[in-house]
A and B are shown apart, each in its own frame.
Chain A
């Protein structure tokens, strides 16, 4: 069974069609959830709008629970899925740089594409900035290569890192997410409303 394309159940030509369809749905969901608005996105850092946290955590929890149920039922082979590789320091430093970029620019790449589609000029500039950033990285690759390729831990999951069964980790993540939702609602009630 799944994943269908790597297992050769669907031919490779479908890959492109599915890519466009998935992108279509992805863009629609992001835009309809309000992710094309940088002020709504930035709200999560100032406590006036927690849409990012809610959408992000709900999506993560739903997908991880769903995938593991499908794995249990034998519909999908978890071993075949692409696991984002862990380069410890690259992830931390790259993430930190992205964090500053996020709060300064108010977008992340996916949401900026949505905002580009509906004509936000700040998003056009932002996307141009991302491309400039990629360009700078590529030109400085010889300097950054050590960081980029260093501290490689493999395509590991939390199951390997903590040596706890996946089910317990998922349960823990779910509880963390629910607590975060609850706390975010309390915080939002206390913070002055910002209209945007």
Chain B
């Protein structure tokens, strides 16, 4: 004899299946909304944070600027007034509060340039770096020490004392030469500061998506 209960259940199988489907769909509606962890996992982010390559020293940067390295893009995160007052040669002004502005995304989210972020010190730039890296933007760097560090090392380098190593003297020589290049004599930087502000327009081509989009169609 066939189990009657089973037969009863089987007779209602479509209703049961339909309710299952309905519950599944309802489940999607009722699931608590959550902020999806987009783009970067915690491990990736941590690996990038501890990677020393995210910092650029002012000496390296000076080298690159003097060599007219075309692959770097300097981003000044300070506000417009400070930018107008003094900035690095060829730097682009994106105030810190505006880094997520869609207008600037093409500059920050692209794979062709090494973006160097800087502000007065490296605190703001670090923050910006973290925010942008979290969005999976690539090739971001922070200028170690920021503008203040730049001033203290390149424009106004401390003179090495006699008992220091040979490299320190070489570095000092380079820095002095660099300071000359940037148009600032070590003693006379105050009145010549206006000269080296070159608000050169940096044109960044529209960025391309890195990942291959699936193609489709029938």
CB atoms of A3 and B22 under 8 A apart? no
Chain A residues near B22 (CB, 8 Å)?
A: 174-175, 178
Closest to A168 in B: B29
Q: Pick from B45-53, B76-84, B127-135, B208-216 the stretch touching chain A.
A: B208-216
Question: A80-B211, A80-B214, A82-B214 in contact; A170/B25 too (CB < 8 A)?
Answer: yes
Closest to A65 in B: B24
Q: Pick from A40-48, A68-76, A186-194 the stretch touching chain B.
A: A68-76
Question: A65-B28, A84-B216, A178-B21 in contact; A74/B36 too (CB < 8 A)?
Answer: yes
Q: Can you list 23 A-B contacts (CB < 8 A)?
A: A6-B212, A7-B211, A61-B25, A65-B21, A69-B27, A69-B28, A72-B28, A72-B31, A74-B37, A80-B211, A80-B214, A82-B215, A170-B25, A170-B28, A170-B29, A171-B25, A171-B26, A171-B28, A174-B21, A174-B24, A175-B22, A177-B21, A178-B21
Residue B18 at the A interface, CB < 8 A? Answer: yes
Closest to B29 in A: A167
- Per-residue contact bits, chain A 159-180, to B (CB 8 Å; 1 contact, 0 not): 0000000011011001101100
Bound form: Cα–Cα A63–B14 in Å:
19
CB atoms of B21 and A61 under 8 A apart? yes
Q: Which of B29, B214, B217 contacts A3 (CB 8 A)?
A: B214
Q: What is the size category of the interface that chain B forms with chain A?
A: 20 to 34
Bound form: Cα–Cα A5–B26 in Å:
31
Chain A residues near B24 (CB, 8 Å)?
A: 65, 69, 174
CB atoms of A174 and B25 under 8 A apart? yes
CB atoms of B31 and A81 under 8 A apart? no
Chain B residues near A148 (CB, 8 Å)?
A: none
Dominant SS at the A interface? helix
Chain B residues near A177 (CB, 8 Å)?
A: 21
Chain A residues near B14 (CB, 8 Å)?
A: 181
In the assembled complex, the CB of B136 is this many whole angstroms from the nearest CB of chain A, namely: 12
Bound form: Cα–Cα A80–B217 in Å:
15
Closest to A77 in B: B38
Chain B residues near A6 (CB, 8 Å)?
A: 211-214
Chain B residues near A7 (CB, 8 Å)?
A: 211
Chain A residues near B218 (CB, 8 Å)?
A: 109
11 extra interface residue pairs, beta carbon distance < 8 Å, beyond A74-B37, A82-B213, A170-B25: A3-B214, A5-B214, A7-B211, A8-B212, A80-B211, A82-B214, A174-B22, A175-B22, A178-B18, A178-B22, A181-B18
- Per-residue contact bits, chain B 196-218, to A (CB 8 Å; 1 contact, 0 not): 00000000000000011111111
Ranked 5 nearest A-B pairs via Cβ: A82-B216, A174-B25, A167-B28, A167-B29, A82-B214
Chain B residues near A170 (CB, 8 Å)?
A: 25, 28-29
Chain A residues near B25 (CB, 8 Å)?
A: 61, 65, 170-171, 174-175
